[in-house]
């Protein structure tokens, strides 16, 4: 029986995402080398569009009785490129100017905008009238130029300043040397296609190529030598990736890269849709969550699935909520994979306890209140509390204890701590769905844990924190929220941007 057959029959948006979410406009990269384009108007704005079109190799015909100083300087540049790129017609445009034209751009006002737009449509020429969205059949994005690597950003005309701000941020992320690396990739493409079969071997070569591209300047001889001596792997690879508590912005850059390189993603039920949105669109997604009180996948089936996929040469990501090494049964999976000779590595994530501390504005190791931090599972494989917990040790002062998955066992946790000598008034907190939109928090004392759980509910993942560090959790949380309100709201990460 396959892993997917073990799952309930209700549809899963995670496992079956939309291949492409709705788009305001279709991003296209249009080759204009040798093509004739029309620019009507002699303003600075028209000059910028003309220069951009000429940079793409277009033959730019400019119709304008007068030119701005910027436009005049542009046309007077004495270079072989500009001499061929621009043809200035010292007059206003007419209908004949659209003949043989690929694109038409104008900077005009009022009734002239309508007239130019109508003439272009009649001639079947795509048209853009600068700063007039109603008269634009296409748009110019804000550009990051590492040609032949080109990044364009559009807001569908809603907020050009925002597009420029996004461009500035991307500029800082893309080293200038990417231009040379992209040119190198262009020369290597045919060689790679002839040397390596499609699929994982070819993709792994290009992933190594990309790693080098972001590390320094191109070394063509070394890269070509590496390609000539490259041996495709005979077996796939498994990466255990920490998805964090839910907020996609808490993923590491390395985790995003792993998601983008995966052939197959086996993900837990608690992994958020926002995190999965960053995955490679072509990757197969398999929901293998183990969920309390509901139908779940057996660990043995998950192990068998990973082994089968890796032996078929697939690049597998095992995506786990929080950190893979904290109550994620990663040790069992690593041992199983290694026993089959399958290479495996781990990318850590933000564990939920640390995310909870950040949300509450509480230091888990505050030196006035805590000398140690304990992470304790709130249930065993049988659903109750583990039988071998050292409750007397946990009940000692100067400890901070975080119970994972303790929602249903909160009454038993309270009972055991009090029986071990913990004062009933010891501070405690409960947080469910930490960092997510539906996050709920409670702050109080250990003696009230059971009643508090009735308010929080047990249907979402729950963390319980106990210790003096949580004494001011409510006050710290209020201060933390006020500080967050002063900050600009973060924009969600886009899958298109991550690809």
Q: Give the catalytic positions in this structure.
A: 268, 290
268 close to 340: Cβ distance less than 8 angstroms: no
d(CA 444, CA 428): 5
Beta bridge partners of 86: 60
Tokens for 463? 């963390």
DSSP code at position 462: E
* String of DSSP letters for 468-498: GGGTTHHHHHHHHHHHHHHSPPPPPPPHHHH
Beta bridge partners of 443: 429
Name which of 296, 268, 272 is nearest 381 in CA terms: 296
CB atoms within 10 A of CB 203: 15
Quote the crossing angle between the two packed helices 299-311 and 330-339, to the nearest 10°. 40
Name which of 312, 266, 304 is nearest 285 in CA terms: 266
Tokens for 49? 């569009």
* String of DSSP letters for 63-124: E-SS--HHHHHHHH--SHHHHHHEEEESS---GGGGTT-SEEEE---HHHHHHHHHHHHHHT
CA torsion sign for 252, 253, 254, 255 is positive
* String of DSSP letters for 371-384: SEEEEEES--TTSS
d(CA 47, CA 259): 42
144 close to 23: Cβ distance less than 8 angstroms: no
150 close to 178: Cβ distance less than 8 angstroms: no
Name which of 306, 336, 307 is nearest 318 in CA terms: 306
d(CA 101, CA 104): 7
100 close to 34: Cβ distance less than 8 angstroms: no
135 close to 114: Cβ distance less than 8 angstroms: yes
Q: Which residues contact 387 (CB under 8 A, 6 or more apart)?
A: 380
């Amino acid at each position: 029986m396959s892993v997917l057959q073990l799952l309930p029959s209700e549809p899963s948006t995670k496992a079956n995402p939309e291949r492409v979410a709705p788009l305001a406009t279709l991003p296209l990269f249009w080759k204009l080398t040798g093509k004739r384009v029309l620019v009507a108007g002699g303003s600075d704005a028209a000059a910028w569009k003309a220069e951009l079109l000429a940079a793409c190799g277009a033959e730019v015909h400019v119709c304008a009785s007068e030119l701005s100083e910027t436009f005049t300087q542009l046309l007077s540049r004495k270079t072989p490129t500009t001499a061929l790129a621009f043809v200035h017609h010292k007059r206003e445009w007419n209908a004949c100017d659209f003949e043989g034209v690929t694109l038409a751009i104008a900077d005009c006002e009022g009734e002239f905008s309508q007239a130019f737009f109508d003439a272009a449509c009649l001639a079947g020429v795509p048209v853009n009238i600068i700063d007039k969205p109603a008269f634009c059949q296409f748009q110019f994005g804000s550009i990051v130029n590492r040609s032949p690597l080109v990044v364009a950003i559009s807001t569908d005309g809603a907020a050009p300043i925002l597009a420029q701000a996004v461009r500035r941020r991307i500029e800082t992320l893309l080293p200038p040397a990417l231009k040379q690396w992209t040119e190198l990739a262009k020369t290597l493409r045919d060689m790679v296609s002839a040397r390596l079969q499609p699929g994982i071997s070819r993709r792994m070569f290009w992933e190594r190529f990309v790693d080098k591209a972001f590390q320094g300047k191109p070394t063509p001889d070394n890269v070509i030598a590496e390609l000539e001596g490259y041996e495709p792997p005979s077996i796939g690879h498994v990466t255990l990736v920490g998805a964090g508590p839910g907020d996609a912005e808490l993923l590491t850059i390395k985790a995003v890269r792993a998601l983008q390189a995966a052939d197959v993603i086996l993900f837990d039920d608690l992994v958020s849709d926002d995190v999965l949105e960053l995955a490679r669109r072509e990757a197969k997604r398999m929901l293998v969550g183990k969920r309390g009180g509901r139908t779940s996948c057996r660990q043995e089936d998950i192990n068998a699935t990973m082994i089968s996929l890796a032996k078929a040469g697939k690049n597998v990501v095992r995506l786990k909520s929080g950190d893979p090494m904290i109550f994620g049964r990663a040790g069992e999976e690593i041992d199983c994979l290694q026993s089959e000779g399958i290479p495996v590595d781990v990318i850590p994530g933000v564990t939920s306890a640390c995310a909870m501390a950040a949300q509450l504005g509480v230091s888990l190791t505050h030196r006035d209140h805590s000398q140690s931090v304990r992470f304790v599972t709130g249930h065993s494989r049988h659903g109750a509390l583990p039988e071998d917990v050292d409750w007397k040790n946990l009940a000692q002062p100067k400890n901070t204890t975080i119970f994972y998955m303790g929602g249903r066992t909160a009454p038993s946790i309270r009972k055991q701590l009090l029986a071990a000598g913990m004062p009933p008034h010891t501070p405690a907190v409960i947080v469910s769905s930490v960092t997510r939109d539906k996050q709920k928090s409670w702050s109080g004392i250990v003696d009230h844990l059971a009643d508090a759980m009735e308010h929080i509910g047990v249907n979402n993942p729950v963390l319980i924190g106990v210790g003096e560090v949580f004494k001011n959790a409510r006050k710290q949380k209020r201060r933390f929220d006020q500080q967050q309100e002063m900050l600009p709201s973060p924009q969600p990460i886009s899958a298109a941007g991550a690809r």
